[in-house]
Structures are given as structure tokens and as C-alpha cells.
Chains A and B, each alone.
Chain A
């Protein structure tokens, strides 16, 4: 009887802990778990547990503002996430804040909350410069690589049916793997967010061999993710983003990561800020991808 009560009590604890107060949690523990990626332009790794990138550095500044908000210096625990596990890890509490390359869409808004959009991404096609592929129609009969767990998989599917073309899809387990499929010749094209394509090409051995071509297959707002139903934490993160936009530090950060040479190869991505990103900063919002497609 006593053992049953203990088990029931423990399981009640496990199920009862849903609407969490992240601010209280990080104040109590003094650490915050930051989700980072390994090979996207906005958040990537240099090896040796060093994580850098536009969104990673922005998140570090958000954590600085959060430290001021809770009144205690917060230690950052960098947690590597993948396209497949980022949402479950945010949902179950392993990761408190994820600032990588996650698209804000209506489906995901059911599971997590998104902060203000800080980058608007377009999905393009990367190919070998000598392949002669110029648009998605040229992909008919070829093999196309994309990463498992990203929105690009569904974008490809939609375009395949809508334009009545047929290509073979090859799934990489992460962005570096998908680019390797293109590099090694196992795929003729790699379809993914433009900044991820640019970053992987810039870091490759011979960047001149690759080109980004084709129309914009999809326009996607990228934002930081936090747990659902925690309005205080979301507001704190949003306030920090607003501050960074208003005092110009976010614009300087964009210039540092997209226009200047970046590690590890010290090449620049050379991607000036798009009109869509400028508009997102001028009117901070967390509208999902579907709202962008409607225009």
C-alpha cells in the first residue's frame, strides 16, 4: 500500500509539472540550457564545444539580459540539438531556449512558443556549378538531397506534386551530411534554407565548385523557441530582442556574421539583409510561415 502511494505520488509529480515557470527555474539553478546547432549559418560549431553564429551570439546577449531580469548571473549550458529532436527537447525541459534555424509555422506553434522573428529565410537549391541546373524544373529525374526533420522536406514534396516533376529524394541526417551527399556526387542538388547553403559552401574545400540557383521555393521566418504556456519567459526574451533591435546591436551582429569573414575558413557569406528581414525587425512579430506565404 505504501509503495503504491509512493509510485502514485511520483507519477503525479511527473505529470503535474507542465505549466512551468522557466524564469523561476533558471533563477533557482543559476544555469540556462541553450539549444544550438552544428552546421547552420545562424548557429554552428567550431569543434571543441565552441558554438558560434548570428543566432548563438544573439542568444548569449538575450541570456545577459535575462541575468539582469532575474538578478543573478546565469551560466549557459550549450546543448547541441538536431532538426529531429529540437522540439521534443524544448517540450520536455532539457532545453530552455533554442536559437538556431527553426522555422516558425502553425504546426509547431501547437507544441512550442516562438519569440519575435529575427531572420527571414528563403529556401533555394545548391548545385555543382557545372551541372547546368538552373531551376526546380531542371531537377526532373535527378536526385535531390535535403535534411530529415526540416520544413524543406515538405516544401520539396509540395513542389514535386504541384509542378508535376519527379525526382528522387535522398535524406541526410543533418545539414553537413546532406551537403556531403551533394559534394560526393550522390545527390545532384541540395535544397535547404539559403543561409545554410551559403554557410556549407563557404566552409567546403572548393567553394567555387558550387552555386546557389533557382527561385525561392519557400519563405520562412526563423525565430527562437521556448516552452509553450510560459508568457513571462517569452516576454523576457522578446524584450531582449526588442532592445537589441532598437539600440542597433542586432544590426551590427548581422553585419559581423553575414558580411564579414567568419570562422572556420575566414570567408564571408556576403549576404546583405533581405527586405523581409528588415521588415520583420521594423515590426517585431511572431507570425507563422503560412502568413508569409499568403502574400
Chain B
């Protein structure tokens, strides 16, 4: 197998010459700088999408488990079914092309924000389902105990159910956080200059498809592993001794 030509990353993007130190100054840029910029976009889109997804997913997950509000439960069901059954790429296109046509006010919204919303809403359906299963895994007595203590619905969710439910669903939440980093690659289809777009453009431009591929692969893997480690850290800090958690303590 021919050897890989790693110095391609230190080439100037305009002239193609090697730049000493791999970082050019002023308006010039090496491919390595471009790759790090693209990685910055990937991280931005993924983390913002994750934030949107966590907030929305929590709300919808709670709505689906309310005991006395059938219409709110139905709304939660509709939300989950809608965002779960449409492929992610189609959802992103709808946000990017269809929504601005239907509501012209949305035309002026930054495309990055639209992608973050698209990713966030898609992932919120999955997080809502995970939260619902976490809440339903708790014994029914917990809810009744909360009501017996005189808590309102909001209070017994906040003080009794949710703290336990979140600890139960930490493993799938970790997967979901890693997934959103990988799913952010669909942003390439709507012109966000992130890592996948970098791979396609620079691979074709330099002819060094393999080196660029390995660079992009390494950055995606590093991002996902970092998320994994952070979530693992959070899981260990939040652990309550004596509480039975799905998967046992320190499963990963």
C-alpha cells in the first residue's frame, strides 16, 4: 500500500506550498487550520443541538407520563411520532428549504440555527422516549408517595421522580450525546462548513482522499470519546449509594 503523505495538511490552501510550522498567518490558511475550523463548526452544531434536545426532550418526556392530562399526553405522543418517523436528512431539508417558504419571516434566520433546531428536535424525540422509560421504570409507589406528601405534580416530578429517572437513563443519554456528534454530519447537505464537507472538498481538491479521511475520522472519534468520558464523569459524580440503577454501578 503506498505510504500516506501526511504533510498535505501543512499545504497552503491557495498556493499548495508547504508552510513551515503548519499554521499560516494573515489571510492564508493551511489545510490543517481549515480542518480545525470545520471541527469547530461540528462541535458547535452538535453541542447546541444537544442542549436544545435535552431541554425539549425532558419537557416532552415528562408530558408523556402525566397521569391526569390526556391531551398533553397526546401532544407528547404526536411530537415523538412526528420527529421519530421522518429521516433526519429530510427533517433538515424541511427546516432549511420548506419552512422559510411557508413562513417568510424565517428566511432571515441563520442557516446554522436552523440546522441546530433540526438536529435538536430530532434528538429530542429520542431523549423524550428514554426519559419516559426511565420514569416508568420507577415503582408506581414513588409517585403516590410524592402525592401523599402533599407535593403538586410539578413538585413531585422535580423532587422525587426526575432525579431518579435521570440517573437511570445516563447510559442511553451518553449514547445519544455521542450520536448527535455523528448525526451532525448531515449539516453538510445544507452548506454548513463542517468536517464532512471538509472531507469531500479537500479530498477532491488535493487528491489525497485517504489522508484527509483519516484526519476527519480521528477528529470524529476524538469528539465522541471526549463526550463519552465527560458523561462517564457526570454519571460517577451523580451516583447515589444504595440506589438501584439500570446496568449496575460503573458499567462503563
Identify the A interface with B (CB < 8 A).
15, 83-84, 87-88, 107-108, 110-111, 145, 148-149, 153-154, 157-158, 161, 170-173, 177, 180-181, 184-186
Contacts and interface: CB of A to CB of B under 8 A. Distances in A.
Contacts of B188: 148, 173
Nearest to A112: B207
Given A157-B14, A173-B188, A181-B191, 20 more contacts: A83-B204, A84-B200, A84-B203, A84-B204, A107-B206, A111-B207, A145-B191, A148-B188, A148-B200, A148-B204, A149-B200, A149-B201, A149-B205, A153-B201, A161-B14, A171-B193, A173-B200, A184-B101, A185-B107, A186-B191
Interface of B is mostly: helix
A88, A171, A185, most chain B CB atoms within 10 A: A171
Interface in B95-136: 97, 100-101, 107, 111
Contact of B207 (A15, A108, A172, A181): A108
Interface of B: 1, 13-14, 27, 97, 100-101, 107, 111, 188-189, 191, 193, 197, 200-201, 203-207, 209
A110 B201 CA distance: 17
Contact of A87 (B1, B107, B189, B207): B207
A171 B97 CA distance: 15
Nearest to A181: B191
Closest 7 CB pairs of A and B: A149-B204, A84-B200, A170-B191, A148-B201, A148-B200, A171-B191, A111-B207
B201 A171 contact: yes
B200 A158 contact: no
Contacts of B203: 84
A83 B204 CA distance: 8
A152 B1 CA distance: 32
5 contacts: A83-B204, A88-B209, A145-B191, A153-B205, A161-B14
Nearest to B188: A173
A84, A172, A185, most chain B CB atoms within 10 A: A84
